[in-house]
Chains A and B, each alone.
Chain A
Amino acid sequence: MSGTVQRRGLVDVGGVDHAAVARSSRSWGWWFVAEHRIRSMRSYVASWVAIGVGSPFLFLLGLGVGLGLLVDANQGAAGVDGVPYLTFLAPALAMATVMQTASQENTYGVFGGFKWFPMFFAMNGTPIGPAHIVIGFQVSVLVRVLLPLVAFVLVMVLFGIGSAAGAILLVPIGLLLGAAVGFAVMSWVATQTEDRGQLSFIERFVVVPLTLFSGTYFPLETLPWFLHWIGWISPLWHAAELGRAALYGAALAPGMALVHVGYLVLLAAATCLLSIRTFRRRLDR
């Protein structure tokens, strides 16, 4: 009609190139999922910043300074692993926080995504597929993990705990740990269809014991030999060992460094594939 402004209809014919949509979803679907979740996080950011920044201060200063005085007084000049207790503790504490955060996000986020707020089904109704949901979800968890991780690093740099360059290396190590723990927890939670209280088992019977027996608060060698295996299978121990080598140059043979990194990469990759398989099965109804 002449004289009237051409208004788009409800369906914007020609405005959307469907072939291009399909193409971009095949390569960028994971990012759309991460973007969605990061957008949802905005309403929590304030409380997360408070917790993320607050807890490193509390833990490092409380445990490190208080307990550290006592330990250092006992250990004398040798310290723990050749350094003051606070320096020994800091990288492992940062990693323990990463493990805990990644585990929590994957426990309730993954179960809820199928059950409480079935967002995974909504995502699956768009051009993207299950693999993109799995990977995009984990990317968003890593963004979430970055907050306390960076806070820990800042506190270390600020208080001169270890070397500043080493402290920054904790970020990639922490992200690798976050991916390994995240995918591992996800691969199990995704198989759970009913909440009978078993979800809290991860926190109580996996995360907490691993934190206690992975050489976080004391060197793994301090434990009796028959408990060492807990450290070996614990992603936290591998990440903490890497973190200590990075922060204050703790002795680490190149071969062992490879083992630590290799273990975390392998755990992340294997449980990522398992998660994709489970998501694919559950979303195909």
Chain B
Amino acid sequence: MIEAKGLTKQYGDFTAVDGIDFAIEPGEAFGFLGPNGAGKSTTMRMIAATSTRTSGELRVLGFDPESHGPEIRAQLGIVPQADQLDEELRVIDNLIVYGRYFGLPLPYVKRRAEELLEFAQLTEKRKARVDGLSGGMKRRLTIARGLINSPKAMLLDEPTTGLDPQARHVLWDRLFRLKEEGTTLVLTTHYMDEAEQLCDRLVVVDKGTIVAEGSPAALIRQYSTREVLEVRFGSSRNAEAATVIEGIGSRIEVLPDRVLVYDDDGEAAMSAVHERGLQPITSLVRRSSLEDVFLRLTGRSLIE
């Protein structure tokens, strides 16, 4: 459906996307997981044919973005990072106006707008002005807007960044429904929980390159242990304690505020730490996450 080989984007001397390869299949939810500045949004814009690639190959829905932008965007639903809604218009008019950009007949667009408002749980707000909506409502309206042309794939750039936890869950729920209906979802995120919840498959990107690829579970299996023990000794003593812990588990990661001990059996690792005479201030055993994968691959956290 979407295929890239050696895809590259340079801005002057700066290489935002550095020769990446990926292939997205119809009906899957595909994610680009990486920190801010990893080149995720640039990649999304290249897929949408609104940013011209510097080099490499890219095919989107059977077309080359360089020459067939309109043909590609006709089949895509785009949810940009900044909503880019028309704040002067009412909620329903935002959908109608957008639908007209696709040349869809007004009666059709009006009917679809009502249906999509229902999906976005905004029916009660249909006559409200956009500038009065909450962040989560604006985001849902932007997703509804992206659906007006019945796209073959949705491009979602950081769909829940800046939303409170409750608004995020409402949004995830809506995206799940889309996924269930078989819509291809392509999304970028720097939230590992979002990637784990929504993505069938993802690539981990850092500094414009892909550092790993696979399903969330496979990536965790491949790059991390089943469980992680987190112990805190106070910021001045973490490094010192880590030298004593050395040897427990398969790997140790020392962060400024805590020490991570990677072991398939977190409780056993905890007992081992106690046996060596260490008394952590707090300790916690949890399952491995994509955050651990990212840390392992890049040596850094996703959110800095």
Residues in chain A within 8 A of chain B (CB atoms)? 8-13, 15-16, 18-22, 24-26, 28-29, 32-33, 35-36, 39-40, 43, 117-119, 121-129, 283-285
Contacts A21-B149, A39-B89 given; does A128 touch B101 at CB 8 Å: yes
* B151: Cβ under 8 A from any A Cβ: yes
Do the beta carbons of A125 and B69 come within 8 Å of each other? no
A20→B103 CA distance, assembly (Å): 9
Residues of chain A lying within 8 A (CB to CB) of residue B50 = 124-125, 283-285
For the complex of A and B, list the 7 residue pairs with the smallest distance between their C-beta atoms, beginning with the closest.
Answer: A24-B103, A126-B101, A122-B84, A21-B74, A127-B70, A22-B74, A125-B78
A11→B214 CA distance, assembly (Å): 27
Q: Output the residue of A12, A18, A121 with the most chain B CB within 10 A.
A: A18
Do the beta carbons of B80 and A13 come within 8 Å of each other? no
Q: Per-residue 0/1 for B98-112: is the Cβ within 8 Å of any A Cβ (1 yes, 0 no)?
A: 101111100010001
* B152: Cβ under 8 A from any A Cβ: yes
- Chain A, residue nearest B152 (CB): A18
- Chain A, residue nearest B98 (CB): A126
Do the beta carbons of B97 and A10 come within 8 Å of each other? no
Q: Chain A nearest CB: distance from B193 CB in Å?
A: 24
A13→B118 CA distance, assembly (Å): 18
* B215: Cβ under 8 A from any A Cβ: no
Contacts A16-B104, A16-B149, A32-B101 given; does A121 touch B84 at CB 8 Å: yes
Do the beta carbons of B101 and A10 come within 8 Å of each other? no
> Which of the residues B78, B82, B100 comes within 8 Å of A32, measured between beta carbons?
B100
A121→B50 CA distance, assembly (Å): 9
A18→B70 CA distance, assembly (Å): 10
Q: Chain B nearest CB: distance from A27 CB in Å?
A: 9
* B88: Cβ under 8 A from any A Cβ: yes
> Which of the residues B70, B88, B93, B112 comes within 8 Å of A129, measured between beta carbons?
B70
Contacts A10-B119, A22-B70 given; does A15 touch B150 at CB 8 Å: yes
Of residues 65 through 90 on chain B, the ones whose CB sits less than 8 Å from some CB of chain A are 68-71, 73-75, 78, 80, 82, 84-89
> Which of the residues A8, A10, A15, A128 comes within 8 Å of B178, measured between beta carbons?
A10
Q: Chain B nearest CB: distance from A22 CB in Å?
A: 4
Residues of chain B lying within 8 A (CB to CB) of residue A127 = 69-71, 73-74, 101-102
* B177: Cβ under 8 A from any A Cβ: yes
Do the beta carbons of B89 and A26 come within 8 Å of each other? no
> Which of the residues B73, B97, B116, B152 comes within 8 Å of A36, measured between beta carbons?
B97
Q: Output the residue of B45, B73, B183 with the most chain A CB within 10 A.
A: B73
Q: Output the residue of B74, B78, B101, B182 with the most chain A CB within 10 A.
A: B101
Residues of chain A lying within 8 A (CB to CB) of residue B246 = none
Contacts A125-B50, A284-B50 given; does A117 touch B150 at CB 8 Å: no
- Chain A, residue nearest B154 (CB): A11
Residues of chain A lying within 8 A (CB to CB) of residue B238 = none
- Chain A, residue nearest B76 (CB): A125
A15→B102 CA distance, assembly (Å): 13
A32→B148 CA distance, assembly (Å): 15
Do the beta carbons of B73 and A8 come within 8 Å of each other? no
Of residues 32 through 86 on chain B, the ones whose CB sits less than 8 Å from some CB of chain A are 42, 45, 48, 50-52, 68-71, 73-75, 78, 80, 82, 84-86
> Which of the residues A11, A12, A19, A118 comes within 8 Å of B74, measured between beta carbons?
A19
Specify the main secondary structure of chain A where it touches its partner. Answer: helix
* B17: Cβ under 8 A from any A Cβ: no
A118→B86 CA distance, assembly (Å): 8
Q: Chain B nearest CB: distance from A9 CB in Å?
A: 5
Do the beta carbons of B82 and A40 come within 8 Å of each other? no
A39→B97 CA distance, assembly (Å): 8
Do the beta carbons of B102 and A122 come within 8 Å of each other? no
Residues of chain A lying within 8 A (CB to CB) of residue B86 = 36, 40, 117, 119, 122
Q: Chain A nearest CB: distance from B139 CB in Å?
A: 14
Q: Per-residue 0/1 for B161-193: is the Cβ within 8 Å of any A Cβ (1 yes, 0 no)?
A: 000000000000000011001110000000000
Do the beta carbons of A25 and B150 come within 8 Å of each other? no
A129→B64 CA distance, assembly (Å): 16
Residues of chain A lying within 8 A (CB to CB) of residue B147 = 10-11
Q: Output the residue of B48, B82, B93, B100 with the most chain A CB within 10 A.
A: B100
A124→B116 CA distance, assembly (Å): 22
Do the beta carbons of A25 and B84 come within 8 Å of each other? no
A8→B148 CA distance, assembly (Å): 12
* B115: Cβ under 8 A from any A Cβ: yes
Q: 8 more A-B contacts (CB under 8 A) besides A12-B112, A21-B103, A122-B98?
A: A11-B151, A16-B104, A22-B70, A40-B88, A118-B84, A119-B84, A128-B70, A285-B51
7 interchain pairs, CB-CB under 8 A? A8-B115, A16-B150, A22-B68, A22-B74, A39-B89, A122-B98, A285-B42
Do the beta carbons of A25 and B80 come within 8 Å of each other? no
Do the beta carbons of B183 and A36 come within 8 Å of each other? no
Q: Chain B nearest CB: distance from A134 CB in Å?
A: 15
